Amino acid sequence: MRADSPLWRVMGDPAQAQEAEALAAVRNLLPDDGIARAWANVTFTDNDGRLNEVDVLILTRGGLIVVELNLDPPMDGALSERRDVEMPL
């Protein structure tokens, strides 16, 4: 997806240059064909009134994808985690 695509929305500034690079890498993986839309650095208030952030929300025909970037150096044996959750609309 192009950096200037209207399908890619940055809702807040990245906290550090490393995060900006990671967000650009995610953006570059997305098609710019109108099927996917993405929002980066989305902040929301939970039910307890606390602010939370999601690095990237991606909406496709296949569903909503939540991307949380971990920029710390990985530990030996660290696993990436994927959770598939189906929720009725």
List Cβ<8 Å contacts ≥24 apart for 43-52.
Answer: 43/11, 43/12
- Cα–Cα distance for residue pair 63/66, rounded to 1 Å: 10
**In the chain, pLDDT over 90 holds for what percent of residues?**
55
* pLDDT tens, residue by residue, 13-38: 988 888 899 999 999 999 998 899 99
Is 87 within the bounds of a domain?
no
What is the domain range of residue 42? 8-67
Tokens for 62, please give them. Answer: 């296949």
Beta strands in 1-89 (DSSP E): 8-10, 37-45, 51-60, 63-67
Is 74 within the bounds of a domain?
no
Is 44 within the bounds of a domain?
yes
Is 16 within the bounds of a domain?
yes
The total number of structural domains that make up the chain: 1
Is 31 within the bounds of a domain?
yes
Is 86 within the bounds of a domain?
no
